[in-house]
């Protein structure tokens, strides 16, 4: 960490202070996609709940989206960028294979912050939030900006009607601050991975071998478009998400009727409804904007969180059960308590 001394000792708590979001400037409706591939609005809506998705315009980039979301969070918090100790970017689609977080740090003017990427696909934001909280709990850092951002339109096969209807581009940010333990906003968490099922959803490196010297060859640096076995991913989500949420609620001695909101990764409306029904949570308490954005991977949870904070649905003190799930395969859950700006 540069430019800021650690706290004198562990604070024990993590305050969820402020949020921000950004999205691709181009809106593509289901009917518009039907002009390119053999699909239609009814087919997409009834199977996924998606009506449109946002795609980056020619002057937008992953780093730019992430920085825009971060600026909104800093503005809500009332923080100067140079007060940040860490910028943690959850993304699977960086502008630079070596990482985009340092670029985002520069765009924000967060000159005192260390910055690095974390890759866990659709679970990335929750994994990053949990990771960042450890720096704050130990007193090593005071203020952190966690950003979930993905530009999946770059990796979609737009002629594959099974997958091209699902994805979009967006970013969401959350400003976190060390606080006393009795004000903690991260009440519990669970994390899981199962690499044996990773081929159900991935972006594999192409098998492009090229001649080098004297009969040797090297691997070309290219990746295939998103590959997904949709039915397997669906079955994984409806099985594992309720299980990890149940474990989270048990560990935190929380009942479903004590929750104010259920905030899941926005992948498929049927998954959201199935999980809510499993816990007898009214659909009115399930936060969803999937219809307007599609699956923006690491961005879905913070983007939805920001919208609900800004329109007044989420209020200080509200308890939010959240779960991210997807490629890896990876999945996680966290019980959050919103604090808001002081």
Among all residues, which ones are annotated catalytic? 122, 265, 295
Look up tokens 């049927």; give the residue.
270
Helix 62-77 × helix 101-108 angle, to 10°: 50
d(CA 98, CA 124) in angstroms, rounded, equals 17
Alpha carbon distances (Å) from 253 to 177, 191, 249: 25, 18, 6
């Amino acid at each position: 960490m540069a430019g800021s001394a650690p706290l004198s000792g562990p604070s024990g708590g993590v305050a969820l202070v402020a949020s921000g979001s950004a999205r691709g400037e181009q809106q593509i409706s289901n009917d518009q996609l039907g002009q390119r591939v053999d699909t239609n609005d009814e087919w997409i809506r009834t199977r996924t709940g998606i009506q449109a998705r946002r795609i980056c315009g020619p002057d937008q980039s992953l780093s730019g989206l992430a920085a825009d979301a971060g600026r909104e969070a800093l503005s809500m918090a009332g923080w100067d960028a140079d007060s940040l100790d860490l910028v943690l970017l959850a993304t699977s689609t960086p502008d630079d294979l070596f990482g985009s977080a340092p670029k985002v740090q520069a765009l924000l003017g967060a000159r005192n912050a260390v910055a690095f990427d974390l890759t866990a696909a659709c679970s990335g934001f929750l994994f990053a939030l949990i990771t960042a909280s450890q720096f704050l709990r130990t007193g090593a850092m005071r203020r952190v900006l966690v950003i979930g951002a993905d530009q999946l339109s770059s990796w979609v096969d737009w002629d594959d009607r099974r997958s091209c209807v699902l994805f979009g581009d967006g970013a969401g940010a959350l400003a976190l601050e060390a606080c006393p333990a009795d004000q903690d906003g991260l009440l519990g968490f669970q994390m899981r991975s199962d690499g044996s099922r990773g081929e159900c959803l991935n972006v594999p490196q192409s098998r492009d071998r090229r001649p080098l010297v004297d009969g040797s060859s090297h691997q070309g640096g290219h990746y295939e478009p998103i590959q997904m076995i949709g039915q397997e991913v669906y079955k994984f989500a409806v099985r594992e998400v309720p299980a990890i949420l149940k474990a989270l609620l048990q560990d935190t001695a929380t009942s479903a009727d004590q929750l104010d909101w259920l905030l899941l990764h926005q992948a498929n409306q049927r998954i959201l409804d199935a999980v809510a029904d499993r816990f007898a949570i009214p659909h009115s308490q399930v936060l969803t904007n999937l219809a307007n954005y599609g699956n923006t991977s690491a961005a879905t949870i913070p983007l939805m969180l920001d919208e609900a904070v800004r329109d007044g649905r989420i209020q200080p003190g509200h308890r939010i059960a959240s779960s991210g799930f997807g490629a890896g395969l990876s999945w996680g859950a966290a019980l959050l308590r919103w604090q808001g700006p002081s």
